[in-house]
Amino acid sequence: MNVFVLLGLGAAAGLLAGMFGVGGGFLATPLLIFVGIPPTVAVASQANQVIANSVSSLQVQWRRGNVDLRMGLVLLLGGMVGSTAGVSLFTYLKRIGQIDFVIAVLYVVMLSTIGVLMLFESLRTYLRRRRNPEAPRGKLHTHYLVHRLPLKLRFYKSKLYISALLPLGIGFAIGVLSAILGVGGGFVLVPAMIYILGMPTAVVIGTSNFQILFVAANVTFLQAATNGTVDIVLAMLLILGGVVGAPIGSRLAAKLPGVVLRGLMAILILTVASELLTELLRTPSSFYSLGSREVLP
């Protein structure tokens, strides 16, 4: 595999990450698959890259005091269990030869959901702003069934008194996602923290990065130990590309209005999703493929 292709890919993912303020992993992994990296290696090495991404973001957030440590630890507990279960599931799927298919299907489902949601959201905001520039904001805090669950904990920094089961469950789901798709999961975790947990926006990024860092480390370790699918060289190229790409992306982003930016992002995500879907629907050129080779002693 050409080193410069991978570096460029890392830079492109970093650029997008910087532009849209997300990890970029959920776009980088499909791109890696498109250029011919085996999906299992793409996912596991991407998890390795996520570590670098979140530590450099956490550096800043921690200094600013934007990490709700208690919430982060509860999320992390769920995340550790989820990612460990996720890697076991990954190993099982790999053994029965279905992992590539599952990765592709999950990416299609996830990307198209996010893409459609983002597209609608940005269109709605755009239309509403044109009609009524001073639109009233919705309620900050709503109370659902969620607040009646047991095991309530007080989260001072987030100014919340909610059941610990909720962040545990969210952490678990993100952990599974992280293990199978190699993503940090920030693009799911952040909205979940804001809309489901009702956390204040200021601490959301820092806290999510805290959880993502350790979950990604757990995934990297387990993938390397059980499946041997982590490629350090690939991960380092992606990291290097990201370091260069991200600041350029964030500078570009500053020049564009948020609605336009989110609209563009949505279109990009949907394009990648439809490309993955076509791969699944298209009649393959060869019906046969080989699983991993075992040399008997």
Partner 1 sequence: MTRLAIALALACLLASHAAAQGPRIEPPAGGLVGPTLGGPVDSSVPPSVPSQSTTPELVVDLSRPRVSITSAFQGESILLFGMFDPPGEIVVVVAGPPGRETVLRKQRFLGLWLNIGRQAFDDVPAYYAIAASQPLQRLLARSAGGEILSLEDRLSSVRSVGQREHQELTKFRLGLVEVKRQEGLYPPAIGQVTIQAHRLFRVELPFPSRLPEGVYDVRTYLLRDGKIVAAVSRPLPVGKVGFNAQLASWATHHGPLYGLGAIVLALMAGWIGGAIMRRL
Binding site for partner 1 (CB under 8 A): 48-49, 51-57, 59-60, 97-98, 100-101, 105, 217, 220-226, 228, 230-233, 235-236, 239-240, 242-243, 246-247, 280-284, 286-296
For residue 36, give the H/E element and its range: none
Least distance in angstroms from the C-beta of 155 to partner 1? 27
Nearer to partner 1, 135 or 252 (CB): 252
Least distance in angstroms from the C-beta of 4 to partner 1? 13
Residue 46 backbone dihedrals phi, psi, to 5 degrees: -65, -40
Nearer to partner 1, 106 or 153 (CB): 106
Least distance in angstroms from the C-beta of 255 to partner 1? 18
Least distance in angstroms from the C-beta of 94 to partner 1? 12
Q: For residue 253, count CB atoms less than 10 angstroms from its CB and return exposed for 0-12, middle for 13-18, buried for 19 or more.
A: middle
Nearer to partner 1, 132 or 289 (CB): 289
* Distance between CA atoms of residues 297 and 293, nearest Å: 13
Least distance in angstroms from the C-beta of 160 to partner 1? 29
* Distance between CA atoms of residues 85 and 90, nearest Å: 9
What does each C-alpha distance from 66 to 60, 143, 153, 178, 204 come to in angstroms? 9, 24, 19, 23, 8
Sign of the alpha-carbon torsion through 114, 158, 50, 165: negative
Query: Which residue in the block uniquely carries the two structure tokens 């990954």?
Result: 90
Q: How close are the terminal C-alpha atoms of the chain, in Å?
A: 30
Residue 132 backbone dihedrals phi, psi, to 5 degrees: -140, 95
Q: Are 49 and 236 in contact (CB under 8 A)?
A: no
Least distance in angstroms from the C-beta of 174 to partner 1? 19
Nearer to partner 1, 58 or 269 (CB): 58
Nearer to partner 1, 104 or 165 (CB): 104
β-pairing, 160-163 vs 152-155, is antiparallel
Least distance in angstroms from the C-beta of 185 to partner 1? 17
For residue 162, give the H/E element and its range: strand 160-163
Nearer to partner 1, 131 or 293 (CB): 293
- DSSP type of residue 145: G
Nearer to partner 1, 127 or 233 (CB): 233
